[in-house]
Amino acid sequence: MTVREVEHEITVEAPAAEVYRLIADVENWPLIFPPSVLVERVEHSGNEERIRIWATANGTAKNWTSRRVLDPEALRITFRQEVSAPPVAAMGGTWIAEAVSPERTRLRLLHDYRAVDDDPAGLEWIDQAVDRNSRLELASLKTNVELATGEPDLLLSFEDSVEIDGSAKDVYDFINEADQWRERLPHVASVDLREETPGLQVLRMDTLTKDGSSHTTESVRVCFPHHRIVYKQTTLPALMALHTGYWQLVEDDRGVTTATSQHTVIVNTENIHAILGEDAGVPEARVFLRNALGTNSRATLGHAKTYAEARAGR
């Protein structure tokens, strides 16, 4: 049986306790780790917890369950996958945050793993996925921790809501069936939806903007019938360094559904001038993104409202 052990590390210009905190709080992961789409805490007792992770590996959407032991004094977190996704047979490791100085941290990420049936091709696939994801995760964590402590105005979160006189199921079906969006949504020029694992989708589409131009995005979506769809864009428009969000549906006892679209964005400062002009800065980029994303979300909610209310005969 072949067990591989590997280590990756990076230096972060932030206090070790802050780096540890961001890794310990799994809700932060989609914001700081590119492969992570959604992470939820399933169980929690003392310093031990069980978490479920939805993420990409070598371009493929996967999900698994892990157990973690947190040691805030030593600034260490050990993890072990409880249910791994093939070709992984078993995987675990440790995060270690070491203070180099009060404002600088050496962050180490250790992995140990083996492949199903000790398959060499499977082990090679895991080698590539672990190396790629570890490098991406560490580089992104460094960038986002340093941004959070130095330029918090680059992070933008907002939501739009609409009341729909129809069932949450019908609204959910409209949003879930994104393969129908080209026919149902005027701002969608083309769409490709893949769902190899039920409830885990990869959505690629060309979206039209107000000026008639289009941009291509790709997202991984985690679907929870009939109340929530969480997504993360893996192919982004030029003005965004990160984009996550969710569709939330709450139906009350009157049969009225409140549908909410939420976005969290990090501005890509490198492209502000090219897109918005030499005089534009972060404030203008924030306004532009709020308007552009909000307009499309409200349009989608409006068409979902029409669809659901027609199904309800209202």
Question: Which tokens in the block code for residue 284?
Answer: 């203008």
Looking at the structure, tell me whether residues 16 and 135 fall in a common domain.
yes
- The range of the structural domain enclosing residue 20 comes to 4-150
Domains identified in the chain, total number? 2
Looking at the structure, tell me whether residues 170 and 302 fall in a common domain.
yes
Looking at the structure, tell me whether residues 146 and 216 fall in a common domain.
no
Q: Are 232 and 202 in contact (CB under 8 A)?
A: no
Supply the pLDDT for residue 150: 65
Looking at the structure, tell me whether residues 119 and 198 fall in a common domain.
no
Of 150, 168, 200, which residue sits at a domain end? Answer: 150
Q: Are 21 and 144 in contact (CB under 8 A)?
A: no
Distance CA 181, CA 138 (A): 36
Q: Are 246 and 230 in contact (CB under 8 A)?
A: yes
Looking at the structure, tell me whether residues 202 and 62 fall in a common domain.
no
Output the domain CATH number for residue 175: 3.30.530.20
Looking at the structure, tell me whether residues 161 and 299 fall in a common domain.
yes
Looking at the structure, tell me whether residues 136 and 192 fall in a common domain.
no
Looking at the structure, tell me whether residues 83 and 187 fall in a common domain.
no
Supply the pLDDT for residue 175: 98
Task: Tell me whether strands 240-251 and 257-267 are parallel, antiparallel or unpaired.
Answer: antiparallel
216 closest CA partner among 194, 238, 195, 199: 238
Looking at the structure, tell me whether residues 217 and 277 fall in a common domain.
yes
Looking at the structure, tell me whether residues 44 and 107 fall in a common domain.
yes
Of 98, 131, 150, which residue sits at a domain end? Answer: 150
Looking at the structure, tell me whether residues 192 and 295 fall in a common domain.
yes
Question: Which tokens in the block code for residue 256?
Answer: 């009225």
State which amino acid sits at residue 132: R
Looking at the structure, tell me whether residues 207 and 298 fall in a common domain.
yes
| pTM (2 d.p.) | 0.85
Return the number of other C-beta atoms located less than 10 Å from residue 42's C-beta. Answer: 12
Q: Are 241 and 156 in contact (CB under 8 A)?
A: no
Which residues does the chain have with pLDDT short of 70? 148-150, 210-211
